[in-house]
Amino acid sequence: MEVFNAHTEDFQKGVVIPVNKPLDWTSFDVVKKIRYTLKYHRGIEKIKIGHAGTLDPKATGLLLVCTGKATKHISEFQDMEKTYIANIKLGATTPSFDTETNENEQYPVDHITKSALDDVLGNFTGTINQIPPEYSALKYKGKRAYTLAREGKHPKLKSREIYIENIKLTEFRKPFFSIYVTCRKGTYLRSLARDIGKELNSGAYLVGLIRTQIGSYKLSDAYDQKIIENILIK
């Protein structure tokens, strides 16, 4: 297994492709595009391809795409610690907890100070319980939760235990703030935004999310989708 570069040819043997996922693409969109390009420009008809950890359509940043025998290591990548930069708006909520849906409720923010926010963030480190968003890819009674949510239904997803190593406030310009988060798999930053808002007796939702690292893999080493396509076509 090797890391993707311009000279890599043995995709069946196993390659890890660090991708900077475009905004509004699903993680599976990236996988499909790479599979298509390998098939029609490299003549590789059958190959296993998968990604190691979903990024929501409204998120960008590091997505690891594995080919061939490297797909056997996907669960290992998923277990690795991940870091994110999350941009959050206070004083409102959306059904999806991010910008996929419009604001549906408004809340006061005058009482929220930087000091109060710092104090609240400390409540979300370590092992905590979190309810995933209704607009998530988790299965509920055999269907994806987001499918039901988009039909106007409300899947009752169960709370589950997650682990957040660290949260650091990096910017506060009310009603917006940014945090740097280090966490383990299963953590929904959208749910974290919602819960922070509740803890502040207000509302909050995610307006931007960038995944910057997975284990030792860094966003600075990732390729834009168009660059990957150009390399694969050659």
Helix (H, G, I), strand (E, B), or coil: what is residue 117? Answer: helix
Please give the Cα distance from 86 to 63 (Å, whole number): 16
Q: Using CB atoms within 10 A of its CB, is residue 77 exposed (0-12), middle (13-18) or buried (19+)?
A: buried
Asked whether the bond before 175 is cis by omega within 30 degrees of 0, the reply is yes
| Residue 119 falls in the annotated catalytic set | no
Integer angstrom CA distances of residue 25 from 22, 94, 108: 6, 20, 33
Please give the Cα distance from 47 to 34 (Å, whole number): 11
Structure tokens that stand for 167 in this block: 């949260």
Sign of the CA dihedral 64, 70, 73, 74? positive
Q: Which member of 24, 56, 79, 224 is catalytic? A: 56
Please list the active-site residues: 56
